[in-house]
């Protein structure tokens, strides 16, 4: 029996993911709202920690406000760049979201492999409840903004071709 290694077994998942991203960028303001989800998640996490203090939440809240300030600035930059149709400025926000998402992913893996044996189970569960949603939200938002940036570049290219064709120079002989 010969195995066909070139067969794509995840094509349905990939098409569905691309369709969801395409749907979200087609909604006016949809990208800005979805890009706000990591900001809202972190704000709700920091609010919860402020009202329910514990040893580990105090440690996480201190670093959480630093990350929140970077994330809120990146989200504001994303909103302005989408609103004013500036795809190169959106690249900065995509970079920040992707970096924070990968940093959260590495943090989760470090906690999972090295921390579970050395921490109480309640701390491990608390950290996982923080890191898993943040990884998913940050990386999904960065993918969504990447698709939006590609659509913005296509729109700008089409506009440039239309303007170039409409204002062709007239040669007078």
Domain count for the chain, please give it: 1
d(CA 116, CA 93) in angstroms, rounded, equals 33
pTM, rounded to two decimals: 0.81
φ, ψ at 27 (rounded to 5°): -80, 125
The answer as to whether 5 is a domain residue is: no
d(CA 4, CA 26) in angstroms, rounded, equals 37
**Residue spans of the chain under pLDDT 50:** none
The answer as to whether 170 is a domain residue is: no
Q: What is the pLDDT of residue 141?
A: 95
The answer as to whether 6 is a domain residue is: no
Q: What is the pLDDT of residue 165?
A: 66
Report pLDDT digits (tens) over 52-70.
777 666 666 677 778 888 9
The answer as to whether 167 is a domain residue is: no
The end-to-end CA distance of the chain, in Å, is 74
Range of the domain at 111: 17-158
Q: What is the pLDDT of residue 89?
A: 93
The answer as to whether 4 is a domain residue is: no
d(CA 87, CA 129) in angstroms, rounded, equals 33
The answer as to whether 37 is a domain residue is: yes
């Amino acid at each position: 029996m010969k195995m066909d290694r070139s067969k794509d077994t995840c094509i349905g998942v990939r098409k569905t993911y691309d369709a969801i991203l395409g749907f979200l960028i087609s909604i006016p303001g949809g990208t800005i709202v979805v890009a706000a989800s990591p900001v809202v998640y972190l704000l709700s996490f920091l609010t919860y920690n402020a009202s329910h203090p514990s040893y580990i939440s105090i440690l996480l809240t201190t670093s959480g406000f630093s990350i929140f300030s970077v994330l809120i600035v990146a989200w504001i930059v994303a909103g302005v760049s989408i609103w004013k149709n500036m795809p190169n400025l959106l690249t900065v926000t995509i970079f920040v979201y992707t970096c924070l998402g990968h940093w959260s992913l590495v943090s989760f893996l470090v906690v999972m492999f090295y921390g579970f044996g050395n921490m109480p189970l309640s701390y491990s569960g608390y950290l996982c409840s923080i890191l898993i949603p943040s990884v998913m939200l940050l990386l999904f938002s960065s993918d969504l903004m990447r698709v939006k940036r590609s659509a913005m570049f296509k729109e700008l290219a089409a506009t440039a071709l239309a303007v170039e064709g409409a204002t062709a120079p007239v040669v007078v002989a």
